[in-house]
Chain A
Amino acid sequence: MSINTIHDVEFGVELPVFEPDTSLANVGAFARAVGWGGARFESHEGAREEGFPGALVPGIMGMGFLTSAIHQWAPSGQVKHVDTVFRAPMLADTPAIISAVVTDIDEDEGIVELDMTVKNTKDETRVFGTAKVRLPLS
């Protein structure tokens, strides 16, 4: 269901699952665009030389996945605040699953709160956080 106003939102509803592109090429493109290009995010071999299990997905890219999922769910929503905890590294070329659930609705202010996670296919949480999204009142 597409969310257009605050009144379309139901407490406890889960956002549609969003599977982002974590390919090494895409992660590298993001890293270079934000000024973080380098082996850690662009090369599995280079990242291993730095002591990581493989090339990493930048934590803020995980935040980008989460906000993209919100924007797809609520095309008129504005993410006012998002807070993410980088619990464990996300690896490039490894599938990630984005999920989010509505935890609060303020119909007077038009604000929805979400709990969000990025997990791997072993159901291990890599990034989690919360977001406040402003939606039209009508």
Chain B
Amino acid sequence: MVDLDELKGRFLNTEFASRDLQLQAEKLVTAAKASGESRSEFIDSSDENFQATPAYLCSISSGQHLPIDFPSLGGIPMDGGKAVERFAPVKPDVPMTVKAHLHDIYDKKGRSGRMIFIVVRTELFDATNTHLANIDSRLVVREKPDS
């Protein structure tokens, strides 16, 4: 059985990936309209407050799911959910930096074994280092039973 405290000590709150990116207005509009969005600030790129929807932000990643030396837990990580916290509008054509770290690791035990939850937090900053948003991805792994 994997020692979660040991994993936390090794990996939590240590940046493991970063990259630069810019969003494209056309894609923001398409995704917003497909989601049923009707507000101008999300579907009209000429709106002075035009920005990405919360859901679009959740598609942003650092390009790496986990730290390169993170141990295998025996199963394939599944996408268990996502959360986004917005601090400022995220606009297209603006240079941004994405940084990723592990925010939490916890487990839930059931009759079929233990599920391990890994929360990857992706932080989004603009060129002035203004913190725009946090995106949390919950990866769920069914731990492989000891043989």
Instruction: Give A residues with C-beta under 8 Å from B.
Output: 18, 20-21, 26-27, 29-30, 32-36, 59-61, 63-65, 67-69, 71-72, 75, 78-86, 129
Which A residues are in CB contact (< 8 Å) with B34?
A: 21, 26-27, 29-30, 33, 61, 64
For B, the interface residue count at a CB cutoff of 8 angstroms equals 28
Shortest CB-to-CB span from A77 to chain B, Å, is: 10
Partner-contacting stretch, out of B7-15, B78-86, B95-103, B106-114: B78-86
- Whether a CB of chain A sits under 8 angstroms from the CB of B129 is no
- Whether a CB of chain A sits under 8 angstroms from the CB of B37 is yes
Does B36 lie within 8 Å of A81, measured CB to CB?
no
A82 to B81, CA, bound (A): 11
- Complex A-B: 8 CB contacts under 8 Å: A29-B30, A30-B34, A33-B28, A60-B82, A64-B35, A64-B54, A67-B55, A129-B81
Instruction: Give B residues with C-beta under 8 Å from A.
Output: 27-28, 30-32, 34-39, 42, 53-56, 58-59, 79-86, 136, 138
Beyond A67-B54, A68-B35, 9 extra complex contacts between A and B, CB < 8 Å: A21-B36, A29-B30, A30-B31, A34-B59, A60-B59, A65-B36, A68-B36, A71-B37, A129-B83
A36 to B55, CA, bound (A): 13
Q: Which partner residue on chain B sits nearest A58 by CB separation?
A: B59
A35 to B52, CA, bound (A): 14
Which A residues are in CB contact (< 8 Å) with B81?
A: 59, 83-86, 129
Does A61 lie within 8 Å of B83, measured CB to CB?
no
A67 to B38, CA, bound (A): 11
Shortest CB-to-CB span from B80 to chain A, Å, is: 6
The verdict on A59 contacting B79 (CB below 8 Å), with A30-B34, A30-B35 known, is: yes
Which B residues are in CB contact (< 8 Å) with A59?
A: 79, 81-82
Which B residues are in CB contact (< 8 Å) with A78?
A: 86
A83 to B81, CA, bound (A): 8
